[in-house]
Amino acid sequence: MQEYDPEAPRTSTAAGPLIVPRPEHNISRANISEQALKVLYKLKQEGFAAHLVGGGVRDLLLGHEPKDFDVATDATPEQVRQVFRNCRLIGRRFRLAHVHFGREIIEVATFRAGGADDVDAERHVENGMILRDNVYGSIEEDALRRDFTINALYYNINDFSLIDYTGGINDLRNGQLRLIGDPTRRYREDPVRMLRAVRFACKLGFAVEPDSERPLFELGHLLGDIAAARLFDELIKLFHTGYGLETFEKLRHYGLFGYLFPATETCLAQEDHAFPITFVSRGLRTTDERIAQGKPVAPFFLYAVLLWEPVRQRYEQLLAKGTVDTDAMLQAADEVCARQQPLVSIPKRYSLPMREIWYLQLRLLQRDGKRPSRLIGHPRFRAAYDFLVLRAEAGEADPELADWWTRYQEADPANRTTMIEGSVKRKRPRRRRKPAAASPIAG
């Protein structure tokens, strides 16, 4: 064990872990959730080692409020289950114990060994990628198999000290994101770590250390090996945590975005189209703003934004071939979704409302008779309207149309009737801001 010297740079593990005693760090039990403390104390009482680890420790050290608290222990999942009545074992790839307290879940993981070389029944590796990993190990091995140094800090409930095997405290102090071990190998083991690098860089405002950064430009193709359902979950974490716009820009900077949304990337890369890029960016910025204001955000809206440009372009093509507008929209949506699903699978509960938003862009054009009053009662009207506003702001839909719907919602019933008459009398729609082929959705 080494003496803690706040000034001394530490990156090596050769001399054992760096231990920071309680008086020399800022993690206070007052900031740890009661439930996490209960789990830690109970494990300790039963004679097991119990530590807080991962994002909880990292965020507390940075003075942020942790999203959740993860516990690491030398008890096996079965032993954890015997200690807690309210416990469920989950996971195949990683076997974990979930201790339930109402809505709060404390994840308890047994120390695991890492490394993709030694293969046996509990660890399954293919082409350097770890598919199953349930080999238990020491706390040091557990630290070394984690992704980033700043995510491998342990808060020991025994004496409230911090344990650092990888130089994480130093990196935290320097605002650096550093992969533990050889970066290329660690990204190959689990390509999702590339997305996590981008996520933490944006969320924490950290710089990716150069050796950890370089492979990000080269290994994007490995994302194709990741299960499409896992990518969906990761993307929600990327785009729905308040830094979506910055994340999107960084993903494109590293060339990763194109492996996740190839059709969107193709559209964004086109020249002579200023607005597609601003549409996705605006959508993500709006989402970030909503999160900052504590408003709810919906995955279906996010995906409607991310995939709209390929849908719209395909729709225009089909329309030019003479397909009826509603059929063209449905077909365009089908085709884009069919190509996207194998990469990032969007669950039906999100893909259905996402498609409704697109389809409703056509119905928002119909301002005659009873249609507006009917449309406004549609469960997806508000999302479709927000979507239209975004399109108008990006210069892709008619701002007059978006403005009309804004006024229509605010108007009282008598004025709504007048508005409908007004809109019917005006035969020709106003010109779009941007010249483009005549198309119904362009308003």
Catalytically annotated residues: 68, 70, 147
Number of other residues whose CB lies within 10 A of the CB of residue 386? 17
- In degrees, to the nearest 5, what angle opens at C-alpha 269 toward C-alphas 267 and 345? 50
> Is residue 193 a contact residue for ligand ATP (CB under 6 A)?
yes
- Which one of residues 46, 68, 141, 393 is an interface residue with ligand ATP (CB under 6 A)? 68
Rg (CA), the chain: 26
Which helix (H) or strand (E) element contains residue 192? helix 192-204
Q: Is the dihedral of CA 156, 159, 164, 165 positive or negative?
A: negative
Q: Which residue is nearest to Mg ion (CB)?
A: 55
> Is position 164 an interface residue for ligand ATP (rule: CB under 6 A)?
no
Q: Which is nearer to Mg ion, 55 or 429 (CB)?
A: 55
Instruction: Decide: is 133 part of the binding site for ligand ATP (CB under 6 A).
Output: no
- For strand 70-73 and strand 104-110, is the pairing parallel, antiparallel, or unpaired? parallel
Q: d(Cα 80, Cα 93) in Å, to the nearest integer? A: 18
Q: Which is nearer to ligand ATP, 54 or 77 (by Cβ)?
A: 54
| 146 CB neighbour count, 10 Å cutoff | 23
Site for ligand ATP contains 235 (CB under 6 A):
no
- Number of residues interacting with ligand ATP: please give it, by CB under 6 A: 12
Q: Does 146 bind ligand ATP (CB under 6 A)?
A: yes
On whether the CB atoms of residues 200 and 171 are closer than 8 A, the answer is: no
Least spacing, CB of residue 175 vs ligand ATP, in Å: 16
Q: Which phi and psi angles does 154 have, rounded to 5°?
A: -115, 135
Query: Could you say which of Mg ion, ligand ATP, none residue 365 binds, taking C-beta under 5 to 8 angstroms by partner kind?
Result: none
Helix and strand numbers, DSSP H then E, in the chain: 20, 12
Q: List the single partner that 40 binds among Mg ion, ligand ATP, none, CB under 5 to 8 Å by kind.
A: none
Residue 155 beta carbon to ligand ATP: minimum distance, rounded to whole angstroms: 13
Q: Is 190 in the site for ligand ATP (CB under 6 A)?
A: yes
Q: Which one of Mg ion, ligand ATP, none is in contact with 443 (Cβ closer than 5 to 8 A by kind)? A: none
CA 328, 331, 335, 340 torsion: positive or negative? Answer: positive
Strand partners, 148: 179
C-beta separation of 128 from 117 below 8 A:
no
Residue in 151, 156, 166, 340 binding ligand ATP, rule: CB under 6 A: 151
**113 lies in the binding site for ligand ATP (CB under 6 A):** no
Q: Which residues pair with 51 in a beta bridge?
A: 72, 156
Question: Minimum CB separation from ligand ATP for residue 248, in Å?
Answer: 17
Rounded to a whole number of angstroms, the minimum distance from the CB of residue 11 to Mg ion is 24
Nearer to ligand ATP, 54 or 299 (CB): 54
Closer CB to ligand ATP, 64 or 430, in the complex: 64
By CB under 6 A, the residues from 40 to 59 that bind ligand ATP are 54-55
192/297 with CB nearer ligand ATP: 192
Q: How far is the CB of 55 from Mg ion (least distance, A)?
A: 4
Window 73 to 92, contacts with ligand ATP (CB under 6 A) = none
- One-letter amino acid at 365 equals L
* Residue with smaller CB distance to ligand ATP, 229 or 424: 229
Q: Which of 191, 153, 179, 188 is nearest to 62 (CA)?
A: 153
For ligand ATP, which is the closer residue by CB, 145 or 367? 145
Residue 313 touches ligand ATP, criterion: CB under 6 A: no
Say which residue the tokens 């120390």 belong to.
Answer: 111
Q: How far is the CB of 99 from Mg ion (least distance, A)?
A: 15
Structure token pair of residue 289: 């703003």
The 3-state DSSP class for residue 162 equals: strand
Q: Per rule CB under 6 A, is residue 147 in the interface with ligand ATP?
A: yes
Beta strands in 77-218 (DSSP E): 87-90, 96-101, 104-110, 123-126, 129-133, 153-156, 162-164, 176-177, 207-208
Contacts with ligand ATP, residue ranges (CB under 6 A): 54-55, 67-68, 70, 146-147, 151-152, 190, 192-193
